[in-house]
Structure 1
Amino acid sequence: MTRHILDHPRAEVATSRLPAFVAIERQMGDLHPATRALHRRPVTVPIKSASLRQFLRIARGRQV
């Protein structure tokens, strides 16, 4: 019985495609407008600590 195709090691050729693609994109210099918008979008990080959430609520001036 042979191994599953996912159990075989990847070829080195497939891993070199991404850096080559990125190099070409950097040489072109201009980003797609949708890509530029995604890079400028602020990242929201959820606050997991309840005490920190309450402290920030009070510091922002909200009482309830």
Structure 2
Amino acid sequence: MMSRHLADHRSPPRGTRAKEFLRIEREELGRLWQQLFRRPVPVPVTGRRTAEFCRIDRGRSA
């Protein structure tokens, strides 16, 4: 009787690949959230601010 080849004897899976995959995904997700929190918040330019900028640009002080 012939026995199996050495490469055909597989050990039962231990979930190591899944654990590593999840670890990498968590690290990348953490980096994504850090980038989102560090992004500067845009200040909306209202009509009043635009009018003031135009007034200053024309050289009027009041």
**Shorter-chain TM band:** 0.3 to 0.5
Normalising by the residue count of structure 1, what TM-score does the alignment of the two structures yield?
0.33
Higher Rg: 2
Normalising by the residue count of structure 2, what TM-score does the alignment of the two structures yield?
0.34
